Chains A and B, each alone.
Chain A
Amino acid sequence: MKKDTSHKEELEQLSPLLARLKKEDPGLKVPRNYFHNMQVEVLQQLKEEMGESPAHADSPAERSPWYKIFYTPKFALAFSTLLVLGVAVFWFTRPVQQSTTDVLAMDDLSQEEILYYIEENIGSFETDELVEVASTDDTGTDIFQEVELDDQAVDEYLDKIIDDLDEESFENIF
């Protein structure tokens, strides 16, 4: 908007009266602090238009477009939900480690259970093992102590087996 310097000459030629009036003070005044207040009003109008404050200080991180995506309530909620689900899936599908405590200790077995097992599987035990167990005070001696041997029954048993012994076995015993 270049000012036309030829205008002065033009106006002088057209109307000296108007040329003179142009040189006078037009009498236009402006309120005190007007320009500062005007800026405030303009910024206020634009804030309302944008629906946000243009004056909040953005950190360099906040200027990033990724920040605007991730730092939103919706995304935070979705992320939290996925995290909880992931932990839950991991927890319930993890391989269960067999605990040594699952293995029953002998101490956990009752006396009745032990006796029942021995009676059922008496043939699996070696004679020496049974004798060893019977000779100790705190393990299984009750088994044998409970059995009362009848002398007559013993003699009859021995008579029976002696009759069945062959000569070689008889010599090995004695």
Chain B
Amino acid sequence: MTFKAADIPDEQILGLLQGGSSLDVERGLRLMMDKYQERLYWSIRKMVYNHEDANDVLQNCFIKAYRNIKGFEGKSKLYTWLYRIGMNESITFLNKKKRQATSSLDDEENTVANSLTSDEYFDGNKAQQKLREAIERLPEKQMTVFKLRYYEEMPYEEMSDLLGTSVGGLKASYHHAVKKIEEQLKQVDIW
């Protein structure tokens, strides 16, 4: 009888991860990854774009989850907790990458453009390519807000909790980011 990981209740997975033998822990980890890895991957991928970067962030996310699983009190759903770890890891990664790009002697724009075009797992059209480039040119915090709202459709309240910024400030930041990107796309022939 085959079963899908999606059918395994979170309580069972947590029971294996939090109290079992080493064999149970591995089983719990596998079940958790089977159940949530794809969903989490795509959320991370939309944040970091590059597949290799997304892979690194996703692995860090699960490793961090494993290390902190005993502290998970079950106040939120298991995926909500994983998602939060994933987004934090993504933001940390993006900020670090942004700082490295701005501190580089090379032109920041070229660095961003090269990074995106070198992604062998992107085969989007020109418009999508230009959109990504425009997003990457945003300031660090604004870029994070835009991606969370545009790609993840995260409510402002949740974003406020995650980033520690007021809802009003987040709305202003997002609106400003949208306008800036639209201006840039209108300047190039994306079709």
Task: List which A31-45 residues lie within 8 A (CB) of chain B.
Answer: 31, 34-35, 38-39, 41-43, 45
Q: Is B25's CB within 8 Å of the partner chain A?
A: yes
Q: Is A99's CB within 8 Å of the partner chain B?
A: no
Q: Flag if A26 contacts B128 (CB, 8 Å).
A: yes
Q: Flag if A26 contacts B149 (CB, 8 Å).
A: no
* Complex Cα spacing A45 to B66, Å: 11
CB distance from A54 to the nearest CB of B (A): 4
Q: Identify whether the interface residues of B are mostly helix, strand, loop, or mixed.
A: helix
Q: Which of B6-14, B89-97, B98-106, B152-160 contacts A (4 or more CB under 8 A)?
A: B152-160
Give the B interface residue count (CB, 8 A): 50
Q: Which residues of B contact A45 (CB under 8 A)?
A: 59, 63
Q: Which residues of A contact B30 (CB under 8 A)?
A: 39, 43
Given contacts A25-B124, A52-B22, A63-B21, contact A3 B153 (CB under 8 A): yes
Mark A residues whose CB is within 8 Å of B. Answer: 1-5, 7, 11, 14-15, 17-18, 21-22, 24-31, 34-35, 38-39, 41-43, 45-46, 49-50, 52-58, 62-63
19 further interface pairs, Cβ-Cβ under 8 Å (given A38-B37, A43-B26): A1-B80, A4-B154, A11-B150, A11-B178, A15-B178, A18-B185, A22-B150, A25-B124, A26-B46, A27-B124, A28-B42, A28-B124, A31-B121, A35-B33, A35-B41, A53-B22, A54-B23, A54-B26, A57-B23
Identify the 5 closest CB pairs spanning chains A and B, nearest first.
A27-B124, A58-B21, A3-B153, A54-B26, A4-B155
